[in-house]
């Protein structure tokens, strides 16, 4: 419930710390490319994240989405499914996960600093789905970008894909291997792509993994820059 004198924008910011000021998210049609290359990563333990098709059988997401906090173990591949173009129970492609790659399987989300540049994973699907979904290209540092965007499945909108376009991205080299952004991304958006419009194409610049509170009461989006992923992102055929 809103506190006395609290408006809707302030309430959203308090309950959804990833909303930065006004809520700029809008619903988009997840069946149309390029949005069809984004989907929900569902797990048998009940959680969900967002993922992006980057190869015929490869889906990029956040590593912490695959961690079972209760057993303190990585999930088995068969406990993970990918639903491309998901919308209100429907989807355009279903991918069964048969394997996945982590930056460092020995370094778990329970170890070390909360934010670190190895929080990414590439899911390997049993069959190619790119003929249905299309793929999104990885945009390495130096890629010219006219506009930044983020699309994902949020905690408060779990059955629809939303887009924040025109958000800020800070990719300075002194960010500790992380990419900071001002896109409206909350729980559930973990694994979602930070996108850049480069010419007429959308490219993946990063993977959203967390929201960090700031001293001024605002929040800061944390993403893994795609350069940290690219070495391990060798799309399968």
pLDDT of amino acid 176: 77
Q: What percent of the chain has pLDDT over 70?
A: 86
What CATH number labels 35-133? Answer: 2.40.10.10
Structure tokens at 196: 């850049």
Q: How confident is residue 175, by pLDDT bands cut at 50, 70 and 90?
A: confident
Instruction: Write out pLDDT tens, residues 49-98.
Output: 999 999 999 999 999 999 999 999 999 999 999 999 999 999 999 999 99
Which regions of the chain carry the CATH code 2.40.10.10? 8-30+136-227, 35-133
The radius of gyration of the chain's CA atoms, rounded to the nearest angstrom, is 17
Q: What is the pLDDT of residue 6?
A: 46
- C-alpha–C-alpha distance, residues 79 and 157, integer Å: 23
Pick the CATH number of 8-30+136-227 from 2.40.10.10, 2.60.40.1180, 3.30.110.70, 3.30.1180.10: 2.40.10.10
pLDDT 10s digits, 140-150 = 888 999 999 99
What digits encode the pLDDT tens for the residues 3-50? 445 455 555 555 577 887 788 899 999 999 999 999 999 999 988 999
pLDDT, the chain, mean:
88
10: tokens are 């302030």
For residue 50, how many C-alpha atoms fall within 13 Å in the half-sphere facing its CB?
36
pLDDT band at 234 (very low <50, low <70, confident <90, very high): low
Rounded to the nearest 5°, which phi and psi values hold at 130? -65, -25
Query: Above 50 in pLDDT, residue 115?
Result: yes
- Take residue 123 and report the two structure tokens written for it: 């899911």
């Amino acid at each position: 419930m809103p506190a006395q004198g609290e408006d809707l924008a302030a309430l959203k910011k308090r309950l959804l710390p990833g909303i930065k000021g006004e809520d700029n998210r809008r619903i988009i049609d997840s069946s149309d490319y390029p949005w069809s290359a984004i989907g929900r990563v569902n797990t048998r333990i009940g959680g969900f994240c967002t993922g992006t098709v980057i190869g015929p059988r490869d889906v990029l997401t956040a590593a912490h989405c695959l961690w079972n906090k209760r057993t303190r173990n990585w999930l088995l591949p068969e406990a993970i499914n990918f639903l491309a173009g998901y919308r209100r129970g429907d989807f355009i492609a279903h991918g069964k996960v048969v394997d996945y790659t982590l930056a460092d399987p020995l370094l778990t989300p329970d170890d070390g600093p909360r934010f670190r540049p190895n929080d990414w994973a590439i899911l390997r699907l049993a069959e190619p789905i790119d003929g249905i979904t299309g793929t999104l290209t990885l945009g390495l540092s130096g890629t010219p970008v006219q506009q930044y965007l983020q699309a994902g499945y949020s905690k408060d909108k779990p059955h629809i894909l939303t887009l924040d376009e025109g958000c800020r991205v800070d990719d300075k080299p002194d960010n500790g291997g992380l990419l900071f952004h001002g896109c409206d991304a909350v729980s559930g958006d973990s694994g979602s792509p930070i996108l850049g419009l480069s010419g007429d194409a959308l490219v993946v610049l990063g993977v959203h993994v967390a929201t960090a509170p700031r001293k001024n009461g605002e929040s800061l989006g944390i993403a893994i820059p795609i350069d940290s992923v690219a070495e391990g992102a060798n799309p399968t055929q």
